[in-house]
Structure 1
């Protein structure tokens, strides 16, 4: 039933399997690619005819991750895969960029490439598998595709390149690089690095290309078994004829236009030449008109490329290495946390930095599960930036891709969350564009973060390089213009610091470039990057030490894990009370790291003190400020730390006698107390009289110590005998004896008491006190207890 064809190779210690003939057999080409337990299905379909009047190649690539591939159910209300995520958009571009240049010129049939992740093992990234599957599906489809391409991911750690690294190896390493290429040349590079040298980056690209060659060999083996008959392409000499005619008609006008250094003037002159050409073909048939339109673009390319290769003269008059004039301004906007205006020639970006708390982190729901990102960079490209009328709304694929490139360039220089516990959002709004607005975003983003007080390890700058390639002759040009990008053969973007490269992206419009060309481009980019960093330093050469007055403040504190429950409280009661009372935001993680944030430092301090009180242990001899929680006959219970009460006995309220506690204290009153004792049961004894209630200073204990009674030890009482009947007529005593006069050994022999005690008059003077003197230094044990005991 199935005519199944397969090939297998070893790739980075894993088996890569390509299979066709079992699934999606009605597509022009379909391949099931498996690496480890990651499986991607890619199906290719192509229209059999071209729409009338179409003069461009409509290639569409869709990459989709099925949540079922990782055994997950999508979040949200609808519980199904919906619009493309950022990762899906970026991977779609990753597939599109190396395959688009490999379709022949003049092929305008619509082509649709759909890659779907069916199984994900959490170790082998599906983007590389999807690129390989797409290349294989196109190669066997019969569609005119000058492939195949191979793809590989490389990391770098401890001086060694790692092919097909795991997620853990990527995080631990210094490089995450993806390369796609044909057997003969590199087609595409995408990377993030931690300040690696140009030599290391070039070595990584070549290492990955060697692996991609092996993948190309496997695809060719599969095509030999299962490829469909190739499509026949119609050839036409109409474009060549039209080009010869137009060169005589508008060649001089185009040359003059490209000598104008101002973009607006140049565009106006070129539009006039194009209109002149259009009029010359008004009576021609539609096919000939289309050929003439293409011939105009080809003529422009020849003139621009020839001037660069032969004369070293570029459109705006620069040589191949000069960077356009740069102006950088920081603090451009008054209310943002950080801002910059970066202008390079006719490319300009307003970049802002906003600082937020942990709850502002971006939640990402992907195959790996829920994750959070504390650094976001968003790039916007409105139509007015190029003087055009167009759609204005949600960001397109290009904007997502450019923003991610700038993110990769800046991310390696960010401080850790422990050093700088903020969520960071960088927003780049392109206000003018004539060449590499993504690299302007890198420069402006670096300045805006430094202006906001983000302690970057070093400033980051970026530059876009171009290439003119004719046979063996080539010229690498720095800081390319928009027209040089369109008419050239390479868009090579390099970002980094003074110490090394942090991001590298390359797209080729020809059938690949050699190692020699890449080496020249990297060296020239290094020179340009150093120049741009110098210009940026004129505006700001260090991170500001103070945050903006409008930015939130965040303080961190570490508490023991066993105290987390006490800080949160039952159902979050305690932490909600802290937030509601102090006004500060409080976040706590599973490791006991607490982040307290507010724009008001007093609120942060109040929350910090509250939490400190919860986790701190009472210390004997320490003075605390507390509130009276409950008043009882024998004293008052004072809350001196959050969740901790102690007893101030009536004898410890004042140095003089206190008859009624409520005459001195009220519930809710703030008092200062000294911790005297914590007994074995955890009961706390406090004193107010030893603390100055106004200043909180500790006072000396002026109460005299209690002296022993006269007469010394009275010794044992012995047999007291029969004490006789009670004087009040209540019957005999229970012990059946009359005590009679007291025994010798004291001065208290008062004789038999009379009937009724009557008025005893003033008390006799005692040693160490009087009737209004201080209470004894001790209290019965039953007084030192909670009111609930």
Structure 2
């Protein structure tokens, strides 16, 4: 029933299996790619005709992660996959960038590539599997695709390159690099690195290219078994004749335009030349007019590229290595936590840094489950930055991709959460653009974070390199302009510190570049990066010592794990009380790490002292300042530490006798007490009389020691036996047998005078006992605290 074909290849100790013929058979090409238990289905369809007047190649790539692939149901209100997440958008771009240059010039049929993750094992990343599946599906589809490409991820652990590392290995790695390549040349590079040298980065790219070749061989093997017949491309009009005619009509005008260094003036001259070309072909048929419009761009490219290769002269008059003038400002905006205005030539970015607490972290719901991100970088590219009218709203794929590139460049230099427990958001708004606004974001982001007081390990700068390649001749150019990007063959961005590379991104518009070209580009980028770092240092060369007055303060403390419950309290009662009373935010994790945050340092200190009081153990002999919590007839309960009360017995309030506690103390009154004792049951005895209430100094205890009770030692209690013969104190009175179940009769009015009573110190008190007097004042057997 099914005509199934497969191909397998081993890369990094893992087997990649490619299968076609079983699933999605109505697509032009469909491949099921499996590595471990990660499975990705990629299907390719292409329109059979071109829309009239269309002069561009409409390629669309969609990558989608199914939550069912990891046995999960999406979180939140909506329980189905919705719009593309940031990861899905970035992976779609990862697939698009290396395959787009491999479609032939003049092929304008719409192509749709859909890659869906059907199963994810948590070990084998689906993005690499999806790239390989997309390449295989295009190769067998019959669509004119000059592939295949292979893809590989490389880590760098303990000085060794690791092919397709697991997520756990990636956490330990100093490098996370993805490469896509044909058998002959590298097409795309995307990476984040921990200050690797140029030699180490180049070695990683070469290492990945070798693995990519094996994937290409497997795809070719599959295509030999299952590829459909290739499409026949229509032969168009003779473009060389049209190009020659254009050169005669506007060649001199274009050369003159590209000798003007100002972008706006140059654009006006180029637009005039293009209008002149349109007039020259006004009588031609629509197809010829369409080709003429495309050939104008080809003519512009020939003139610019020839000037660079032959004369070493660029559009704005620079040589191939010179970086445009740079101006940096920090503290540009008064109310932000950190800000910078970075200008390089005609590219400019306003970058701000905002600091927040842990609850400002971004929650990410993906195949791996819920995770949280404390560093965010958002990049915006409004149409006015290039003097155009266009859509303004939610970020597109380009903005997401450029923001992530800058994120990767800055992320390795961030302090750990223990060193700097803040959530960090960097916002880049491009206000002018003429080449490499993403690298301006890197430079501005570094300055803005240092302005905000983020202790970066080192400042980070970025530079964009270009390439002009004609046969064996090539020229690498530093700090490319927008036109050089459009008309050149490579967009090669390198970011890093003075110690090494933190991010590398490369996109190629030709069929790949060689190791030699990459080596030259990396070396030239290092020189340019050093120059830019020097210019940035003129504005700010190190992190500010203090945070902005408008930024929240966060302080960290640790408590024993067995104290976490006491700090949180039943149902969160205690921690809510701390927050409500002090005004500070308090977060505590399962390890006992507490983060206290507020813009007011006094609130932080109050919350910290409160928590310290909860976890601290009372120490006998220590003098505390507390508040009277409640008053009873036999003394007062004083809160001397947060959450801890003790009894100041009436006899410990003053050296002289206190008849009524309320005559001396009131609830809420602040007093100084000495902790006398904590008994085995946790009961706390305090004393005020041995502490100077003004200074808090300890006083000498001048009270004479207690005399023995009248009647001598009570002696051993012995066997209580029959309670009929009972004695009180040391007397000999026998009250006779107790009533046997009978009615005890009326108590009468009051209990009458029970005879002499003694206070706690053995002194006689012949007066009547106060109504509701505590038991120890009426001769009962109570503990020393009267409880």
TM-score norm. by structure 2 comes to 0.91
Give the Å deviation of 1:664.
1.1
Q: Secondary structure at the match of 1:685?
A: strand
Q: Secondary structure at the match of 1:390?
A: coil
Distance 1:33 1:359 in 2: 39
- Do 1:65 and 1:116's aligned partners in 2 also have CA atoms closer than 8 Å? yes
- Do 1:468 and 1:488's aligned partners in 2 also have CA atoms closer than 8 Å? yes
Give the Å deviation of 1:651.
1.0
- Do 1:627 and 1:668's aligned partners in 2 also have CA atoms closer than 8 Å? yes
Distance 2:785 2:540 in 1: 63
Distance 1:252 1:127 in 2: 48
- Do 2:254 and 2:270's aligned partners in 1 also have CA atoms closer than 8 Å? yes
Distance 2:709 2:49 in 1: 121
2:137 aligns to what? 137
Distance 1:101 1:781 in 2: 98
Give the Å deviation of 1:670.
2.4
Give the Å deviation of 1:635.
1.1
Match runs of 1:612-627 below 5 Å = 612-627=612-627
Distance 2:261 2:764 in 1: 105
Q: Deviations over 1:384-423 (max 9, x none)?
A: 0000000000000000000000000000000000000000
Match runs of 1:509-524 below 5 Å = 509-524=509-524
1:441 aligns to what? 441
Distance 1:570 1:710 in 2: 49
Match runs of 1:763-778 below 5 Å = none
Distance 1:786 1:463 in 2: 76
Match runs of 1:65-464 below 5 Å = 65-464=65-464
Q: Deviations over 1:647-669 (max 9, x none)?
A: 11111111221111121112232
Give the Å deviation of 1:706.
4.8
User: Is residue 671 of structure 1 aligned with residue 671 of structure 2?
Assistant: yes
Match runs of 1:455-534 below 5 Å = 455-534=455-534
Distance 1:477 1:711 in 2: 109
Q: Deviations over 1:244-287 (max 9, x none)?
A: 00000000000000000000010000000000000111111110
Q: Secondary structure at the match of 2:224?
A: helix
Distance 1:733 1:537 in 2: 97
Give the Å deviation of 1:627.
2.1
1:662 aligns to what? 662
Distance 1:529 1:551 in 2: 31
- Do 1:239 and 1:294's aligned partners in 2 also have CA atoms closer than 8 Å? no
Give the Å deviation of 1:674.
1.1
Match runs of 1:504-583 below 5 Å = 504-583=504-583
Distance 1:436 1:733 in 2: 105
**Which is worse superposed, 7-16 or 253-262?**
7-16
Give the Å deviation of 1:689.
1.4
Match runs of 1:585-600 below 5 Å = 585-600=585-600
Give the Å deviation of 1:712.
11
- Do 2:649 and 2:785's aligned partners in 1 also have CA atoms closer than 8 Å? no
- Do 1:597 and 1:604's aligned partners in 2 also have CA atoms closer than 8 Å? yes
1:728 aligns to what? none
Distance 1:475 1:377 in 2: 33
- Do 1:149 and 1:180's aligned partners in 2 also have CA atoms closer than 8 Å? yes
- Do 2:561 and 2:590's aligned partners in 1 also have CA atoms closer than 8 Å? yes
- Do 1:238 and 1:288's aligned partners in 2 also have CA atoms closer than 8 Å? no
CA gap 1:648/1:307 in 2 versus in 1, 3 angstroms: same
Give the Å deviation of 1:708.
7.8
1:58 aligns to what? 58
Q: Deviations over 1:678-710 (max 9, x none)?
A: 112211110111222233333332334457899
Give the Å deviation of 1:733.
5.7
Give the Å deviation of 1:767.
13
Distance 2:780 2:401 in 1: 75
Distance 1:444 1:196 in 2: 22
- Aligned pair count? 745
Q: Deviations over 1:113-162 (max 9, x none)?
A: 00000000011110000000000000000000000000000000111000
Q: Secondary structure at the match of 2:271?
A: helix
Distance 1:484 1:538 in 2: 29
Distance 1:715 1:106 in 2: 115
Give the Å deviation of 1:15.
1.0
1:742 aligns to what? none
Give the Å deviation of 1:568.
1.0
CA gap 1:546/1:713 in 2 versus in 1, 3 angstroms: closer
Q: Deviations over 1:315-337 (max 9, x none)?
A: 00000000000000000000000
Q: Secondary structure at the match of 1:30?
A: strand
Distance 1:106 1:210 in 2: 31
CA gap 1:692/1:498 in 2 versus in 1, 3 angstroms: same
Q: Secondary structure at the match of 1:128?
A: helix
- Do 2:336 and 2:550's aligned partners in 1 also have CA atoms closer than 8 Å? yes
Distance 1:145 1:182 in 2: 12
Q: Secondary structure at the match of 1:138?
A: helix
Q: Secondary structure at the match of 2:3?
A: coil
CA gap 1:76/1:715 in 2 versus in 1, 3 angstroms: closer
Q: Secondary structure at the match of 2:538?
A: helix
Give the Å deviation of 1:638.
1.4
1:13 aligns to what? 13
Q: Deviations over 1:613-652 (max 9, x none)?
A: 1111111112222222222222111122222211111111
Point out where structure 2 has 5 or more consecutive residues left out of the alignment. Answer: 717-731, 737-751, 767-775
Distance 2:615 2:781 in 1: 29
Q: Secondary structure at the match of 1:539?
A: coil
Distance 1:584 1:56 in 2: 57
- Do 1:238 and 1:291's aligned partners in 2 also have CA atoms closer than 8 Å? no
CA gap 1:49/1:691 in 2 versus in 1, 3 angstroms: same
Distance 2:735 2:428 in 1: 99
Q: Deviations over 1:59-90 (max 9, x none)?
A: 00000000000000011212000000000000
Q: Deviations over 1:756-778 (max 9, x none)?
A: 99x99xx9xx999999xxxxxx9
- Do 1:350 and 1:428's aligned partners in 2 also have CA atoms closer than 8 Å? yes
- Do 2:258 and 2:266's aligned partners in 1 also have CA atoms closer than 8 Å? yes
Distance 1:308 1:390 in 2: 32
CA gap 1:786/1:35 in 2 versus in 1, 3 angstroms: farther
Distance 1:554 1:244 in 2: 68
Distance 1:231 1:715 in 2: 114
- Do 2:237 and 2:288's aligned partners in 1 also have CA atoms closer than 8 Å? no
2:682 aligns to what? 682
CA RMSD of aligned residues (A): 2.5
- Do 1:692 and 1:698's aligned partners in 2 also have CA atoms closer than 8 Å? yes
Give the Å deviation of 1:714.
13
1:726 aligns to what? none
CA gap 1:150/1:657 in 2 versus in 1, 3 angstroms: same
Give the Å deviation of 1:238.
3.3
TM-score norm. by structure 1 comes to 0.91
Q: Deviations over 1:713-760 (max 9, x none)?
A: 9999xxxxxxxxxxxxxxx96389xxxxxxxxxxxxxxxxxxx99x99
Distance 2:35 2:406 in 1: 30
Distance 2:86 2:712 in 1: 92
Point out where structure 1 has 5 or more consecutive residues left out of the alignment. Answer: 717-731, 737-755, 772-777
Q: Secondary structure at the match of 1:698?
A: coil
